[in-house]
Structure 1
Amino acid sequence: MDRREGPAGRDEAGAGPVVIGVDIGTTSTKAVAFDAAGRLLAAHSAGYPLEEPHPGHAVQDPQLVLRAVLDAVRAAVAEVGAARVAGLSFSAAMHALVGLSPTGEPLTPLVTWADTRAGRQAERLRASTGGLALHRRTGTPLHPMSPLAKLVWFSEQEPKLCERVGFWVGIKELVLWRLCGALVVDHSVASATGLMDLEALAWDGEALALAGVLADQLPELVPTTHVLPGLTPEGAAATGLPQRTPVVVGASDGPLANLGLGAVRPGVAACSIGTSGALRVVVDRPAVDPLGRVFCYALTPGRWVVGGAVNNGGVVLQWAGDALAPDLGEGAEEELLALAARAPAGSGGLVMLPYLLGERAPHWSSLPRGAYVGLTRAHRREHLVRAAVEGVCLQLALVLHSMRSAGLQVRELRATGGFARSPWWRQLLADALGMEVRFARGHEGSGFGAALLGMEALGLVGSIDVAADLVRTGETARPHPADSAVYASLLPVFGELYDALAPTYASLRRLAPSLPVDLR
Structure 2
Amino acid sequence: MAHDVVIGIDLGTTATKVVAYQADGAAVAEASNGYPLEEPSPGRAEQDPRLILDAIYRGLRDVVAEIGADRVRGLSFSSAMHSIMALDSDQEPLTPVLTWADTRAEAEAEMLRQGERGLALHQRTGTPVHPMSPLVKISWFRAHEPDLFGRAAMWVGIKDWILARMTGELVTDHSLASAMGLMDIHRLAWDEEALEIAGITADQLPTLVPTRYVLEGLSPEAASATGIARATPVVVGAGDGPLANLGVGAVHPGVAACSVGTSGALRIAVDRPAVDSRGGVFCYALTEDRWVIGGAINNGGVVLDWVRSELASGDAGLSTAQLLDEAMTVPAGSGGLVMLPYLLGERAPRWGGVARGAYVGLTRSHRRAHLVRAAVEGVALQLTLVKDAMIEAGFEIGEIRATGGVMKHEMWRQTLASAFGSAIGFPESSEGSGFGAALLGMEALGMIESIDVAADMVPIEGTTEPVPADAAVYAELLPVFEELYDVLLPANEALQQVASRLPLAH
Assess same fold via TM > 0.5: yes
State the match for 1:111 in structure 2.
98
Aligned-partner Cα distance in 2 for 1:58–1:494: 27
Farther off after superposition, 403-412 or 372-381: 372-381
- Among 390, 393, 403, the residue aligned to 1:406: 393
Aligned-partner Cα distance in 1 for 2:186–2:242: 18
Aligned-partner Cα distance in 1 for 2:501–2:278: 35
- Tell whether the 8 Å contact from 2:79 to 2:239 is kept in structure 1 after alignment: yes
- Among 155, 158, 165, the residue aligned to 1:171: 158
Farther off after superposition, 139-148 or 335-344: 335-344
* Aligned residues between the structures: 506
For 1:509, what is the secondary structure of its paired residue? helix
Closer, same or farther: CA 233–462 of 1 in aligned 2, 3 Å: same
One-letter amino acid matched to 1:416? T
State the match for 1:280 in structure 2.
267
Aligned-partner Cα distance in 1 for 2:239–2:482: 29
In the TM superposition, residue 408 of structure 1 has moved relative to its aligned partner by: 1.0
For 1:411, what is the secondary structure of its paired residue? coil
Matched, 1:233 2:220: yes
- Tell whether the 8 Å contact from 1:26 to 1:50 is kept in structure 2 after alignment: yes
- Tell whether the 8 Å contact from 2:8 to 2:75 is kept in structure 1 after alignment: yes
- Tell whether the 8 Å contact from 2:218 to 2:233 is kept in structure 1 after alignment: yes
In the TM superposition, residue 437 of structure 1 has moved relative to its aligned partner by: 0.7
State the match for 1:421 in structure 2.
408
Aligned-partner Cα distance in 2 for 1:309–1:322: 24
- Tell whether the 8 Å contact from 1:95 to 1:146 is kept in structure 2 after alignment: yes
- Among 63, 69, 72, the residue aligned to 1:82: 69
Closer, same or farther: CA 42–508 of 1 in aligned 2, 3 Å: same
Aligned-partner Cα distance in 1 for 2:439–2:318: 34
Within-5 A mapping of 1:40-51: 40-51=27-38
Matched, 1:439 2:429: no
One-letter amino acid matched to 2:481? F
One-letter amino acid matched to 2:348? A
One-letter amino acid matched to 2:34? G
- Among 177, 180, 191, the residue aligned to 1:204: 191
- Tell whether the 8 Å contact from 1:443 to 1:471 is kept in structure 2 after alignment: no
State the match for 1:368 in structure 2.
355
Per-residue CA deviation, residues 218-265 of structure 1 (Å, 9 max, x unaligned), is 011011001112223333223322222111111011111111111111
Aligned-partner Cα distance in 2 for 1:322–1:243: 44
In the TM superposition, residue 160 of structure 1 has moved relative to its aligned partner by: 1.0
Matched, 1:507 2:461: no
State the match for 2:471 in structure 1.
484
State the match for 2:442 in structure 1.
455
Aligned-partner Cα distance in 2 for 1:290–1:96: 26
Aligned-partner Cα distance in 2 for 1:423–1:255: 26
- Tell whether the 8 Å contact from 1:116 to 1:366 is kept in structure 2 after alignment: no
State the match for 1:155 in structure 2.
142
Matched, 1:243 2:226: no
One-letter amino acid matched to 1:140? T
Matched, 1:72 2:65: no
Per-residue CA deviation, residues 324-351 of structure 1 (Å, 9 max, x unaligned), is 4444337631232223222221223222
Aligned-partner Cα distance in 1 for 2:5–2:82: 29
Farther off after superposition, 191-200 or 76-85: 76-85
State the match for 1:303 in structure 2.
290
In the TM superposition, residue 16 of structure 1 has moved relative to its aligned partner by: 5.9
State the match for 1:267 in structure 2.
254
- Among 372, 380, 385, the residue aligned to 1:385: 372
Matched, 1:91 2:110: no
For 2:500, what is the secondary structure of its paired residue? helix
For 2:86, what is the secondary structure of its paired residue? strand
- Among 197, 201, 217, the residue aligned to 2:204: 217
Per-residue CA deviation, residues 292-347 of structure 1 (Å, 9 max, x unaligned), is 12111000121101111111112222333344444433763123222322222122
State the match for 1:18 in structure 2.
5
In the TM superposition, residue 515 of structure 1 has moved relative to its aligned partner by: 5.4
State the match for 1:3 in structure 2.
none
- Tell whether the 8 Å contact from 1:350 to 1:373 is kept in structure 2 after alignment: yes
Identity fraction in percent = 62
- Among 165, 172, 182, the residue aligned to 1:195: 182
For 1:328, what is the secondary structure of its paired residue? coil
Structure 2 unaligned regions, length at least 5: none
One-letter amino acid matched to 2:223? A
State the match for 1:6 in structure 2.
none
Closer, same or farther: CA 66–27 of 1 in aligned 2, 3 Å: same
One-letter amino acid matched to 1:104? Q
For 1:105, what is the secondary structure of its paired residue? coil
Farther off after superposition, 225-234 or 187-196: 225-234
One-letter amino acid matched to 2:235? V
Closer, same or farther: CA 60–292 of 1 in aligned 2, 3 Å: same
State the match for 1:475 in structure 2.
462
Matched, 1:359 2:346: yes
Aligned-partner Cα distance in 2 for 1:381–1:79: 44
For 1:280, what is the secondary structure of its paired residue? strand
One-letter amino acid matched to 2:447? L
For 2:228, what is the secondary structure of its paired residue? coil
One-letter amino acid matched to 1:474? E
In the TM superposition, residue 517 of structure 1 has moved relative to its aligned partner by: 5.1
- Tell whether the 8 Å contact from 2:3 to 2:70 is kept in structure 1 after alignment: no
Farther off after superposition, 220-229 or 335-344: 335-344
State the match for 1:11 in structure 2.
none
Farther off after superposition, 39-48 or 422-431: 39-48
In the TM superposition, residue 361 of structure 1 has moved relative to its aligned partner by: 0.8
Let me know the Cα RMSD of the aligned residues.
1.7
For 1:407, what is the secondary structure of its paired residue? coil
- Tell whether the 8 Å contact from 2:3 to 2:72 is kept in structure 1 after alignment: no
Per-residue CA deviation, residues 11-31 of structure 1 (Å, 9 max, x unaligned), is xxx556111111111222222
One-letter amino acid matched to 2:394? G
State the match for 1:27 in structure 2.
14
Structure 1 unaligned regions, length at least 5: 1-13
- Tell whether the 8 Å contact from 1:143 to 1:366 is kept in structure 2 after alignment: no
Closer, same or farther: CA 19–329 of 1 in aligned 2, 3 Å: same
